[in-house]
């Protein structure tokens, strides 16, 4: 009898004419286990605050963090534009204390699937977030020298590893501490680095899209060529 389990599943795909062009994330991300949040499994996470890109991608979710003080209007705009779950940045560095908790409460009320805090966030703030919201608290990790035990004891639900080229090594170190903590990690733009990060133990991959200007430039070049 033929072993159907070994056969690759056929997945029907439907595309429209006007929506045929979109930002498609690397297929290898599908090899990640994913993280199931409120019944939805998330493997690919787009790292962007550009609503045009967010509206035209096949990512499972969006992580909206940016190098400025978090503002409610930005959160609202991204949530309005996105057809997929959104992880919202709520500070933790320059923005701290009660303001972080207030931003997190607002993000939850708007429908965010989780809130993301920066590396400098004190563990007391993580504990305060856990007392006030019922969505996952995602804590950013940038080095294997961080006290992962303390982050987990404070209540971190998910670790967001952003260590540039050292991301796989950081993920491996975290896995020595916990085999089960959900890990989101940057995978770069190459399939080889994404695969390496997944093999290290990441459950979901964040993907940085090309600059919107580069995408538009490519289209304009085709227009010029006729």
Three-state SS at 207: strand
Break the chain down into helix, strand, coil percent, rounded to 5.
40, 20, 40
Distance CA 108, CA 106 (A): 5
The verdict on residue 222 lying in a domain is no
**8-19 mean pLDDT:** 73
The verdict on residue 136 lying in a domain is yes
**41-45 mean pLDDT:** 98
Q: Tally Cβ neighbours within 10 Å of residue 163.
A: 19
In contact, 194 and 29? CB cutoff 8 Å: yes
Predicted pLDDT at 29: 97
**What domain range includes position 193?**
25-209
Q: How many domains does the chain have?
A: 1
Predicted pLDDT at 21: 67
Domain CATH code at residue 86? 3.20.20.60
The verdict on residue 20 lying in a domain is no
Tell me the pLDDT tens digit for each residue of 133-162. 999 999 999 999 999 999 999 999 999 999
Tell me the pLDDT tens digit for each residue of 70-97. 998 999 999 999 999 999 999 987 788 8
The mean pLDDT value of the chain amounts to 90
Predicted pLDDT at 164: 93
pLDDT of residue 4 exceeding 70: no
The verdict on residue 225 lying in a domain is no
Confidence of residue 1 (pLDDT cuts 50, 70, 90): very low
Write the DSSP string, 127-163.
Answer: HHHHHH-SSPEEEEE--TTS-HHHHHHHT-SEEEE--
The verdict on residue 218 lying in a domain is no
The verdict on residue 19 lying in a domain is no
pLDDT above 70 coverage of the chain, percent: 93
pLDDT of residue 18 exceeding 80: no
The verdict on residue 201 lying in a domain is yes
The larger pLDDT score, comparing residue 181 to residue 3, is at 181
The verdict on residue 200 lying in a domain is yes
Predicted pLDDT at 220: 81
């Amino acid at each position: 009898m033929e072993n159907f389990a070994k056969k690759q599943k056929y997945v029907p795909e439907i595309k429209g004419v006007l929506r045929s062009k979109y930002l498609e994330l690397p297929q290898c991300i599908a090899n990640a286990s994913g993280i199931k949040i409120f019944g939805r499994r998330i493997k690919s996470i787009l790292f962007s605050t550009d609503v045009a890109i967010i509206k035209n991608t096949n990512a499972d979710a969006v992580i909206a963090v940016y190098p400025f003080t978090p503002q409610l209007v930005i959160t609202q705009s991204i949530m309005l534009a996105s057809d997929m779950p959104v992880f919202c940045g709520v500070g933790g560095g320059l923005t701290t204390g009660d303001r972080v908790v207030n931003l997190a409460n607002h993000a939850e009320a708007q429908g965010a699937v989780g809130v993301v805090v920066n590396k400098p966030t004190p563990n007391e703030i993580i504990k305060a977030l856990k007392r006030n919201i019922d969505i996952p608290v995602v804590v950013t990790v940038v080095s294997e020298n961080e006290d992962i035990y303390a982050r987990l004891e404070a209540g971190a639900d998910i670790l967001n590893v952003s260590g540039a080229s050292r991301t796989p090594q950081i993920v491996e170190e975290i896995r020595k501490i916990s085999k089960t903590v959900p890990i989101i990690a940057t995978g770069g733009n190459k399939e080889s680095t994404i695969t390496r990060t997944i093999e290290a133990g990441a459950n979901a991959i964040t993907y940085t899209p090309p600059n919107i200007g580069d995408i538009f430039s490519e289209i304009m070049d085709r227009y010029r060529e006729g």
